[in-house]
């Protein structure tokens, strides 16, 4: 099987624990693209932080953001929005109301294609690394609703861990949204049916790349649909057990440049 496209998660997968892209990884991505292998980023991150990462390493490919709700084209070095899938406004309000019922005390923020709006209580719990925004610079609102279409809802609790909140909401099966967890301090909800897998499928159809020629790499719950969709499912040694269970191969850890090692192998096989 010839791999024509590698879709990789960012945090915990492509990035090291310091949340940067190593020189080796940057070179491996460049070499892969020169060898005719598409490299696609697939992340829960928003447009601005994907842009910052791309500038740090010279990445100019396609990126899936907001767990599949936003498609970005970085070809000219800027994050041009190629497509978005929003949650219907009534579904946003309904999901937030239902999660509040299930987990009293939960607080919210909503993400648009370019904006992030948080409740005061949500911003108060944040550190910069959570959303790559300084909490004191966050746009805050009593309703956490953005004037833009909402592509993602995030929720957290001041006392419960995000994985506890995730499992509670997952068991209740909140309608009209796609619930997931990226390993961050919050849970995430996109429009029903939207995932990294759905966005990757759409992109591969546009590029004329068969599913069997796609390798995907990830480490957390939000990567599972993408790994199950791809022809080759890969993960890193630091991934959660649920991801390791579906992987065809476990690479070295993110701090050992596991994705870079795999890309180097692909390039050597092309030569």
Which listed CATH number (3.30.1240.10, 3.40.50.720, 2.10.77.10, 3.40.50.300) goes with 89-191? 3.30.1240.10
Tell me which fold the domain 5-85+194-270 belongs to.
Rossmann fold (3.40.50)
Residues with Cβ within 8 Å of residue 216, at least 6 apart in sequence: 6, 7, 8, 42, 196, 200, 223, 226, 227, 229, 230, 232, 233, 234
Q: What is the location of CATH 3.40.50.1000 in the chain? A: 5-85+194-270
In the predicted model, what is the mean pLDDT of residues 97-123? 97
Radius of gyration of the chain (CA): 18
Phi, psi of 161 (to 5 degrees): -70, 160
Whether 1 has a pLDDT exceeding 80, the answer reads no
Distance CA 46, CA 64 (A): 9
In the predicted model, what is the mean pLDDT of residues 89-103? 97
Q: What is the location of CATH 3.30.1240.10 in the chain? A: 89-191
Q: In this predicted structure, what is the pLDDT of residue 88?
A: 96
Whether 27 has a pLDDT exceeding 80, the answer reads yes
Q: What is the pLDDT of residues 208-240, one digit of tens each?
A: 999 999 999 999 999 999 999 999 999 999 999
Token pair recorded at residue 167:
């499992």
Q: Which residues pair with 107 in a beta bridge?
A: 156
Q: Is residue 187 within a helix (H) or strand (E), and if so which, with residue range?
A: strand 187-191
Q: What is the pLDDT of residues 119-175, one digit of tens each?
A: 999 999 999 999 999 999 999 999 888 789 999 999 999 999 999 999 999 999 898
In the predicted model, what is the mean pLDDT of residues 262-268? 97
3-state secondary structure of 10: helix
């Amino acid at each position: 099987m010839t791999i024509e496209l590698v879709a990789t998660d960012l945090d915990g997968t492509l990035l090291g624990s310091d949340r940067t892209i190593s020189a080796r990884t940057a070179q491996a991505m460049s070499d892969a693209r020169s060898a005719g292998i598409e490299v696609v980023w697939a992340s829960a991150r928003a447009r601005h932080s994907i842009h910052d990462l791309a500038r740090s390493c010279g990445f100019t490919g396609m990126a899936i953001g907001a767990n599949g709700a936003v498609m970005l084209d970085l070809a000219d070095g800027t994050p041009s929005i190629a497509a978005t899938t929003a949650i219907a406004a009534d579904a946003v309000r309904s999901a937030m109301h239902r999660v509040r019922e299930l987990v009293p005390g939960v607080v919210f923020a909503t993400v648009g294609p370019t904006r992030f709006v948080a409740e005061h209580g949500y911003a108060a719990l944040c550190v910069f690394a959570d959303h790559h925004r300084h909490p004191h610079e966050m746009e805050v609102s009593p309703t956490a609703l953005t004037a833009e279409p909402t592509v993602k809802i995030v929720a957290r609790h001041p006392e419960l861990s995000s994985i506890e909140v995730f499992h509670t909401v997952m068991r209740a099966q909140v309608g009209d949204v796609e619930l997931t967890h990226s390993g961050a301090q919050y849970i995430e909800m996109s429009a029903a049916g939207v995932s990294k897998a759905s966005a990757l499928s759409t992109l591969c159809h546009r590029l004329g790349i068969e599913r069997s020629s796609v390798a995907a790499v990830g480490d957390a719950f939000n990567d599972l649909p993408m790994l199950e969709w791809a022809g080759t499912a890969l993960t890193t040694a630091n991934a959660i057990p649920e991801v390791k269970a579906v992987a065809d191969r476990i690479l070295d850890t993110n701090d050992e440049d596991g994705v870079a090692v795999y890309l180097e192998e692909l390039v050597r096989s092309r030569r």
